[in-house]
Amino acid sequence: MKFLIAFLFLFISVISFSQFKNIKIAEQADGLYPPVEPSIAINKSNPKNIVAGIVLNRVATSQDGGATWNTTELKSPFGVYGDPALISNHKGSLFYFHLSDPSGKGNTDEAWLDRIVCQRSDDEGQTWTDGVSIGYNPPKDQDKAWPAVHPKKHFMCVTWTQFDKYGSTDPECQSKIMFSKSLNGTNWSKPTVISQTAGDCLDKDSTAEGAVPVISSDGKIYVAWANRGNIYFDRSYDGGNTWLDNDLVIAKQEGGWNLTIPGIDRSNGLPVLAYDNSEGHFKGTMYMVWADQKNGADNTDIWLIRSRNRGDYWGNPQKINQDTVRAHQFFPWVTVDQTNGNVYILYYDRRDHTDNQTDVYLSYSTDGGNHFKEVKISEDSFTPDAGHFFGDYLNIDAHAGLIAPIWTRMDNGRTSIWTSIIRADELKK
């Protein structure tokens, strides 16, 4: 009897750790750039339509709520060179932001990274415009863009890093956070520098990088980014025309954002901002997550801070991963379901392993971030190899009770992109 009880307990435990079906969206093919750095967007007009962007130039679409996917190549006369960032507006128009490579020669040509590109789809990702140029300012390089849309109006913005020259060791070379806005993704404003403290151009801890904007329902814009061990915050109350005279330092990032994690060729803990525009009890709450190693180089953790007064005051950092061992949790991303205010944080996790084996975890809160539960959503562990590029981020979107995480896994040095479409009522309350 004891053996039977133990067996049943083990069986139930195994089932509980594999309750979410993992769906492969893309895999590595010989001769093509390995798929990494995925971004995902649920169509806010039709949640059965989900679209993903994948490095280097792939777009994947689903018309059945993420059960099946069709993958094609995105094309633009400006070139498509990675860092995909996808978003849907309230009418269901989709916008795919990415880096440029107009010559097709990559970093061997001066034109590489000469602008940010925005391509729009009004037919659920089946076709895309050629793309609009944002921030063209040669010979400066434009990198790491992320967009935001107004929850109810035709208004959007994008922030990114401008390098005087990407990768330069010249101490006079600077990186700055840029901002541009648009009504419909077709015409974009002249870029504005919104960061007061410049970074270097090394794409490391002292580089101003990782700017993620959000837009509140009353049209106010908020942005956070990392630079020199600090997380900076800026805001505009007039649609991006004016900003704070001095950026606010809202958190310290111990050891910087360029983390060292075994098996990962490079890992950043850049901050991600989210805003609750729902009609729930916690409307107006702003959430920011990041990763750092304040608890030791062998113990990377995910942190969250919240503001309920437009960024004037932020609470103390909360550790999101609930393990009690020294392990690495990294590459966090946060989103808010704007129909109910639920908060979801996705990240890689190694708590169950003593080597580089990696799982994917989802933390979630239904009470404005006061309490979080977490669950492992990857069916099988995988082991990244630092000899192969793993990318700089994963991503997650949520809408109308549907949760769409997306991540990279690596097996024997080859990458693939996965999702697991989850309903909020499937998560433990």
Within a 10 A sphere around the Cβ of 414, how many other Cβ atoms? 15
Question: Do 399 and 339 form a contact (C-beta atoms < 8 A)?
Answer: yes
Q: How many domains are there within the chain?
A: 1
Sign of CA dihedral 422, 390, 38, 32: negative
Which own/partner contact pairs does 304-309 have at CB distance under 8 Å and 24+ positions apart?
304/334, 304/345, 304/369, 305/250, 305/251, 306/368, 306/369, 307/250, 308/282, 308/284
- Give the bridge partners for 116, in sequence order: 99, 134
Q: 298 — alpha (psi -120 to 50), left (phi > 0) or beta? A: alpha
| Residue 130: domain span | 23-97+112-137
What percentage of the chain exceeds 90 in pLDDT? Answer: 92
Rounded-to-integer distance, Cα 157 and Cα 179, Å: 7
Residue for token digits 């969206």?
A: 25
Q: What is the DSSP pairing of strand 141-149 with strand 70-73?
A: unpaired
Residue 231 resides in a domain: no
Residue 390 resides in a domain: no
Q: Which of 184, 222, 207 is nearest to 257 (CA)?
A: 207
Q: Give residue-wise pLDDT tens across range 233-272.
A: 999 999 999 999 999 999 999 889 999 999 999 899 999 9
What is residue 406's predicted lDDT score, i.e. its pLDDT? 98
Residue for token digits 């190694």?
A: 350
CATH code of residue 124:
2.40.10
Rounded-to-integer distance, Cα 427 and Cα 421, Å: 12
Q: Which helix or strand (DSSP H or E) is residue 231 part of? A: strand 230-236
Rounded-to-integer distance, Cα 166 and Cα 384, Å: 26
Q: What is the largest CA-CA distance in the chain?
A: 75
Q: Which helix or strand (DSSP H or E) is residue 290 part of? A: strand 286-292
Q: Both tokens of residue 92?
A: 């269901």
Q: What is the CA radius of gyration of the chain?
A: 20
What is residue 251's predicted lDDT score, i.e. its pLDDT? 97
Residue 64 resides in a domain: yes
Identity of the amino acid at 337: D
Residue for token digits 């991006």?
A: 240
- Encode 12-37: b = buried (16+ Cβ within 10 Å), e = exposed: eeeeeeeebebbebbebeeeebbbbb
Residue 90 resides in a domain: yes
What is residue 4's predicted lDDT score, i.e. its pLDDT? 45
Secondary structure (3-state) at 250? strand
Q: Which residue stretches of the chain have pLDDT < 70? A: 1-18
Residue 127 resides in a domain: yes
Residue 175 resides in a domain: no
What is residue 188's predicted lDDT score, i.e. its pLDDT? 98
Q: Both tokens of residue 341?
A: 């205010």
Residue 288 resides in a domain: no
Residue 162 resides in a domain: no
